[in-house]
Amino acid sequence: MKGFLIGIGVVVALGVILVGYYMGAYNGLVGKQEAVNSSWAQVQTQYQRRADLVPQLVATVKGVANFEKDTLTAVVEARAKVGTMQVTKDTVNDPEAMKKFEAVQGQLTGALSRLMVVVEKYPELKATSNFSELQSQLEGTENRIAVARRDFNATVQEYNVGIRTMPTSIIANMSGFKEKAYFEAATGSEKAPEVKF
């Protein structure tokens, strides 16, 4: 009888240890998942900041006579695509959706870069304080976007390592935790752009 009770005690103790480990690992994964969601929200915030600056920039540039309409149209169209894309926190769970998001944002980045190059031909535009301020804000926003993307990738890496490392990977698989997609460099980004500010 005494051996039976000791056996039951050992089984109960092991059960408590396993349940405690499961709960700790699960809660740790939830924390990492929420860190990814928070980091993703920061990325979206910075992209939204840039998108909000574009109409002001376009309005300022439109005021210059004979400004190249094709360049301005490309910026407006790229901004419109950004505005119509549905992006949620679940976008990070879908590598294809992330690629679409990056492609749309890349089109806007390219259009803005071309706009800044064309602006060089219009000294009267460059001389206005409104344009200079918008240009400065846009440049700062691009830096914030780069930092937010870097931070997002670091958070995703920590999460992905967490769900793939044994024995936590067993809990992650049982609980439905899936890998998150990274931001990846756009094709051709290894070449330095020729942008003059």
Q: If residue 93 lies in a helix (H) or strand (E), which one and from where to where?
A: none
pLDDT higher than threshold 70 for residue 68: yes
**What structural domains and CATH numbers belong to the chain?**
44-197 (1.20.1440.20)
DSSP structural state of residue 92:
G
pLDDT in tens, 167-190: 999 999 999 999 999 988 766 555
pTM of the model: 0.82
- Tell me the two tokens of residue 126: 């460059």
C-alpha to C-alpha distance for 63 and 67, rounded to whole angstroms: 8
Segment 107-112 shows an average pLDDT of 92
CA dihedral (144, 150, 154, 155) in degrees, to 10, reads 40
pLDDT for residue 196:
46
Residue 129 has pLDDT above 50, yes or no: yes
Query: pLDDT per residue over 10-40, tens digit each?
Result: 899 999 999 999 999 999 999 999 999 999 9
Under the banding of pLDDT at 50, 70 and 90, the label for residue 197 is: very low
